[in-house]
Chain A
Amino acid sequence: MSSIKIKLKEKDVAKIIEICDSFDNNPGDLINVLHKVQGEFGYLPAEVQEVVSNQLKVSLAKIYGVVTFYSFFTMIPRGKHPISICTGTACYVRGAEKVLDEFKKVLGIKVGESTADGKFSLTCLRCVGACGLAPVVQIGDKTYGRLAPDDVKRILDEYADN
């Protein structure tokens, strides 16, 4: 997996240490720590994992193993407008896959990635409880329903100015 290289600010490091401390630097709490740290930063870049590794005395390889095992964790920053495509059963049978393919094509990114300008990121999720509107896509807080691949361009244009 490629990773974005970033430099952590001192206050970021302090925040990670604070989170680790709140779990007594217990290696058994690795997942909880990562959960909280991702809540803070939005994602878990390599440098963040290094700080966690030093604090919890868990090897970097193990931490990376956990981060790549659970789909909840991500090493890529979410875009300004995170796009989530429901691939739950109802959406799937009503063509979510085709909508997803169109998003991938138009944005030029894969699931789990962000566009180079940081504007959009693409993830899949399972069921948002709006099966009647299948297939459903969420962009930020806004929900779009009954989508077809043809709608994708038009929807993305709504975000052209910001």
Chain B
Amino acid sequence: MEMIRLTIDKKTVEVKKGTTILDAAKSIGINIPTLCYLNMGDLNIENKPGGCRVCVVEVDGRRNLAPSCATECMPGMVVSTHSMRVLNARKTVVQLILSDHPFDCLVCAKSGNCELQDLAIKLGIRDVPYIGEQSTYREDTSPSIIRDVDKCIMCRRCEVMCNEVQTVGVLSAINRGFQSVVAPAFEMNLDHSVCTYCGQCVNVCPTGALTEVDHTNQLINDLADPDKVVVVQTAPAVRAALGEAFGMEPGTLVTGKLATVLRELGFDYVFDTDFAADLTIMEEGTELLGRLSQHLQGDPDVKLPILTSCCPAWVKFFEHNFPEMKDIPSTARSPQQMFGAIAKTYFADKINVDRKKLIVVSIMPCVAKKYECTRDEFKVDGNPDVDYSVSTRELAHLIKRANIDFVSLPDSDFDNPLGESTGAGVIFGVTGGVIEAAVRTAYEVHTGKALEKVDFKQLRGLEGIRSATVDFDGLPINIGIAHGLGNARKLLEDIKSGKSTYHAIEIMACPGGCIGGGGQPYIHGDTSILKARQKAIYAEDAGKTLRKSHENPYIIKLYEEFLGKPLSEKAHHLLHTHYFDRKKEVFIEE
């Protein structure tokens, strides 16, 4: 490896050939400010259009300032990252960006998490001397995501996410010059596009141009309504990330505090989506074993591999892009929807409350879940099984608004009967977790033997596509795992062309799985936070007495009292779904 020696801010540094000035500076503790640049190395995600010019540095002998994110180090370079010329240029660049940016920071949804705001603070910008035309573009609201492109700074990060990482292809820069905006084709609204609502664009947007639809005011009203019984379910990935919003170390588990805070906020029943995750395994696992045994008996019509169906963004993705394969995914509803269906039947009956008075709210690391609960097939006479979904970020805001000192809260447990869960339910929050949970149960059901070692380390990790073979007592089961929709697309293409040899595939739309969901506290490109969350989820699993879904006593009870057995008629009615061909749904506005 050829090494290069150069000087940055009078310090000598030696780096590999090909290193950018930005990275070389970082290696000696100099953090040059950036705006459009984004590097999520562990996930192979990089955006460096060199467009914003915030990261400019002065290089001796060069006429122009150089964008450090896109300029490679050369031998003998003498670089200054904070000369007068650099500081002035950087300030001017940000002032020019601000000259076409709304000044509603105090009331902006992104305030406090905005990278442009941070930069303005850091650079000591106290005025914007440039007055000129302001962009005005209509706001676009969908069930999950709001686009307010007046706040867009054209960093193109969302485009990289949407096109290169997720291969969804909804967002692109259109028009030219001052008229240029990032928009879907033909400037249609998101809800008319093939958007999956994965929310990864929201996660990487440095400003308030892309944000989630906020349901907290609706929630506050419902909690205050004495005629309503408000039930909450909280997804596994929330407990591994919520603490970050209160200054806790990434990877701090706050499960007990979470149950306590939800009770303090006034929810009547504090339940856990992990319970429904266990239920999902019962249904999906049984479906997997059913298809497997059909396959082993030589049935040529059996659809394999079976694909997981917990992730609403993934479901919408295949409905748009692979509708001809819509009979391959499991018919099992997602845990959020299973929970809603059980809460508004089994549980509503138990407490004798009409489903219209029972409000089911979910706390999710996700923004696609907001869309999922609006789908018509998850409603009974217009009444949704899950009334609405609130993201981890929204919950954090609400806790702060309610002046609750989250960090010093004592731990408590979830309520029963829908709050008990096993370690298998918890690991739904990370890539590979759903299939590991399914394997734990399917193994025991198929072989009739007790599984001694429940940790399937070969299924874990952050590689975009992973595969492993699990031995079901002599029967090798080939498992594929993909996270990120671009990786999912590759596996889907393989199935389409007949190349796939998997029996079961787990797919999560977001890089990292739900821990990296579109509704989680912002990580600002720091993937070490994802790793910490992943570790926390596996730690919670390891600490549980029960690690297999079918051992959850309340799941056993639910089947005994209400559902009968997995895939029963009642289970089919309440816990399974069907998919739609959305290929033609994209239409063009007049």
Which B335-362 residues sit within 8 Å CB-CB of chain A? none
A5 contacts chain B at the CB level, 8 A cutoff: yes
A47 contacts chain B at the CB level, 8 A cutoff: yes
Q: Are B171 and A61 within 8 A (Cβ)?
A: yes
User: How would residues 54 to 82 of chain A score, 1 for a CB under 8 Å from any chain B CB and 0 otherwise?
Assistant: 00001111111100110100000000000
Distance between Cα atoms of A69 and B590 in the complex (Å): 21
Q: Are B588 and A46 within 8 A (Cβ)?
A: yes
Q: Are A62 and B175 within 8 A (Cβ)?
A: no
Q: Closest approach, in angstroms, between the C-beta of A85 and any C-beta of chain B?
A: 20
Distance between Cα atoms of A73 and B15 in the complex (Å): 46
Which A29-47 residues sit within 8 Å CB-CB of chain B? 46-47
Among B183, B185, B586, which residue has its beta carbon within 8 angstroms of that of A63? B185
Q: Given contacts A1-B186, A68-B175, A69-B174, is CB(A62)–CB(B163) below 8 Å?
A: yes
Q: Are B172 and A59 within 8 A (Cβ)?
A: yes
Q: Are A59 and B169 within 8 A (Cβ)?
A: yes
Give the A interface residue count (CB, 8 A). 18
Q: Given contacts A59-B169, A61-B169, A69-B176, is CB(A3)–CB(B185) below 8 Å?
A: no
Which A residues touch B417, using CB under 8 A?
Answer: none
Distance between Cα atoms of A135 and B170 in the complex (Å): 43
Q: Are A64 and B588 within 8 A (Cβ)?
A: no
Q: Closest approach, in angstroms, between the C-beta of A57 and any C-beta of chain B?
A: 10
Q: Are A2 and B590 within 8 A (Cβ)?
A: yes
Best-surrounded residue of A1, A61, A71 (most CB of chain B within 10 A): A61
Distance between Cα atoms of A63 and B183 in the complex (Å): 12
Distance between Cα atoms of A62 and B183 in the complex (Å): 10
B184 contacts chain A at the CB level, 8 A cutoff: yes
Which A residues touch B588, using CB under 8 A?
Answer: 3, 5, 46-47
Q: Are A68 and B176 within 8 A (Cβ)?
A: yes
Q: Closest approach, in angstroms, between the C-beta of B155 and any C-beta of chain A?
A: 16
Q: Are B185 and A59 within 8 A (Cβ)?
A: yes
A49 contacts chain B at the CB level, 8 A cutoff: yes
Distance between Cα atoms of A154 and B586 in the complex (Å): 46
Q: Are A64 and B185 within 8 A (Cβ)?
A: yes
Distance between Cα atoms of A117 and B183 in the complex (Å): 31
Q: Closest approach, in angstroms, between the C-beta of B372 and any C-beta of chain A?
A: 23
Which B158-188 residues sit within 8 Å CB-CB of chain A? 163, 168-176, 183-187
Q: Are B172 and A64 within 8 A (Cβ)?
A: yes
Q: Closest approach, in angstroms, between the C-beta of A77 and any C-beta of chain B?
A: 15
The 5 closest A-B pairs by CB, nearest first: A59-B169, A61-B172, A60-B185, A65-B172, A64-B185
Residues of B within 8 A of A (CB): 163, 168-176, 183-187, 193, 586, 588-590
Residues of A within 8 A of B (CB): 1-3, 5, 46-47, 49, 58-65, 68-69, 71
Question: What are 27 A-to-B residue pairs whose CB atoms are below 8 Å?
Answer: A1-B186, A1-B187, A3-B186, A3-B588, A3-B589, A3-B590, A5-B590, A46-B186, A46-B588, A59-B172, A59-B185, A61-B163, A61-B169, A61-B171, A61-B172, A61-B174, A61-B184, A64-B172, A64-B185, A65-B172, A65-B174, A68-B175, A68-B176, A69-B174, A69-B175, A69-B176, A71-B176
